[in-house]
């Protein structure tokens, strides 16, 4: 997957444009939109006789021409969602942890905000690490997404 972002004059990401290959479906998926919104998606059939790299680049080249660029890993903000697990169900259930990570990856990915890196458990707590391009917007979207779900009982969300 390659993620590209268009920044405003202040350097803040405003829009995203990304693409990835689904070899099992023989297609390239293109996804773009305004940061924080689900945006649009298109797919392209992979041609067997063409270079996959060229086909992939041909999907992203128009966005690059409009000023979209990759950002360095160090430019992502670290957003941590912490849960108290002492006697709690989430820390004890691998399925729930996996479902939480998948739900966060889906929400952050489809809104162009970033991705979930993983979950660490410690004595009485569980921390979900996410890397996002706009901390404040991601915080707002995550709080709204988790509210009234089985994952809404986090103890805090903070930037590390």
Same domain for 36 and 89? no
Q: Give SS3 for 97.
A: helix
136 and 93, same domain (yes or no) = yes
User: Where among 13, 36, 65 does a domain terminate?
Assistant: 65
Contact between residue 138 and residue 113 where contact means Cβ atoms under 8 Å apart: yes
User: 144 in a domain, yes or no?
Assistant: yes
Which H or E run includes 74?
A: none
Mean pLDDT of 60-87: 92
- Phi first, then psi, for residue 128 (nearest 5°) are -105, 120
130 closest CA partner among 153, 155, 107, 154: 107
- Digit-coded pLDDT (tens) for 96-148: 788 899 999 999 999 999 999 988 888 788 899 999 999 999 999 999 999 98
CB 69, CB 61: distance < 8 Å: no
Q: Are residues 86 and 149 in the same domain?
A: yes
**Residue 50 — pLDDT band, cuts 50, 70, 90?**
confident
- Is residue 120 in some structural domain? yes
Q: Do 12 and 87 belong together in one domain?
A: no
- Residue range(s) defining the domain that contains residue 12: 2-65
Within a domain: 88: yes
Please give the backbone phi and psi of residue 147, each rounded to the nearest 5 degrees, phi first. Answer: -55, 135
What's the sign of the alpha-carbon dihedral 3, 8, 11, 13?
negative
CATH at residue 113? 3.30.70.3090
User: What is the tally of structural domains in the chain?
Assistant: 2
Reported pTM: 0.87
Query: How distant, in Å, are the alpha carbons of 39, 46, 71, 107 from that of 28?
Result: 17, 7, 21, 21
Do residues 18 and 61 both lie within one domain? yes
Token pair listed for 118: 């993983």
CB of 76 closer than 8 Å to CB of 130: no
Angle of the 135-146 helix axis to the 94-110 helix axis, nearest 10 = 130
- Domain for residue 70, yes or no? no
Q: Is residue 53 part of a domain?
A: yes
């Amino acid at each position: 997957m390659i993620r590209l972002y268009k920044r405003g004059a202040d350097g803040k990401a405003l829009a995203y444009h990304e693409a990835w290959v689904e070899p099992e479906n023989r297609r390239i998926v293109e996804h773009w939109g305004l940061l924080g919104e689900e945006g649009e998606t298109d797919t392209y059939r992979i041609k067997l006789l063409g270079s996959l790299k060229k086909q992939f680049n041909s999907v992203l080249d128009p966005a690059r021409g409009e000023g979209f660029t990759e950002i360095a890993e160090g430019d992502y903000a670290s957003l941590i969602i912490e849960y108290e697990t002492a006697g709690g169900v989430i820390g004890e259930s691998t399925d729930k942890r996996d479902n939480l990570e998948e739900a966060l990856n889906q929400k952050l990915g489809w809104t162009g905000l970033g991705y979930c890196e993983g979950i660490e458990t410690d004595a009485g707590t569980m921390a979900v690490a996410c890397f996002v391009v706009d901390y404040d917007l991601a915080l707002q979207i995550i709080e709204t997404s988790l509210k009234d779900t089985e994952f809404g009982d986090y103890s805090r969300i903070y930037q590390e």
